[in-house]
Amino acid sequence: MSKHRELILEIIKSSGHMTADEIYMKAKQIRPSIAIGTVYRNLGLMTEAREIRRIFVPNAPDRFDSFTNPHEHLFCQNCRTLSDISINNLKDYLEKQTGVKIIGYDLNLKYICSECRKKEETKEQI
């Protein structure tokens, strides 16, 4: 594994679901000589190699996830934070319902996270 690739993987592991730009910013802090093209190219290669997972987010940049096991995401519509969740046997259920063998899926459940809900509540009280 190249030095850059190692660094990028470390960053993704330490911070959860980041966009390519966020990963680049962080990588640049640690290694100022790193080019944005290098980060993008490595993210592509790592996704192909299944070292990381690319998460498609509607109307927002893709996020990258170091947790490659099948899992789903809760997506806060307010602060756009992604959280991991795991729904047991969802793939089996989907396969039974559709009658096809599912290789993978992207499921983002939209919600308002508790942090944002708390903020909303305090706003309403004012």
Q: Closest distance between Zn ion and the C-beta of residue 124, in Å? A: 16
Stretch that binds Zn ion, among 1-9, 87-95, 96-104, 109-117 (CB under 5 A): 109-117
90 binds Zn ion (CB under 5 A): no
* Neighbour count for residue 20 (Cβ, 10 Å): 19
79 binds Zn ion (CB under 5 A): yes
Helix (H, G, I), strand (E, B) or coil at 95: helix
113 binds Zn ion (CB under 5 A): yes
The CB-side HSE value for 115 (13 A sphere, CA atoms) comes to 9
Q: Is the dihedral of CA 28, 30, 32, 36 positive or negative?
A: negative
Give the binding site for Zn ion (CB under 5 A): 65, 67, 76, 78-79, 84, 113, 116
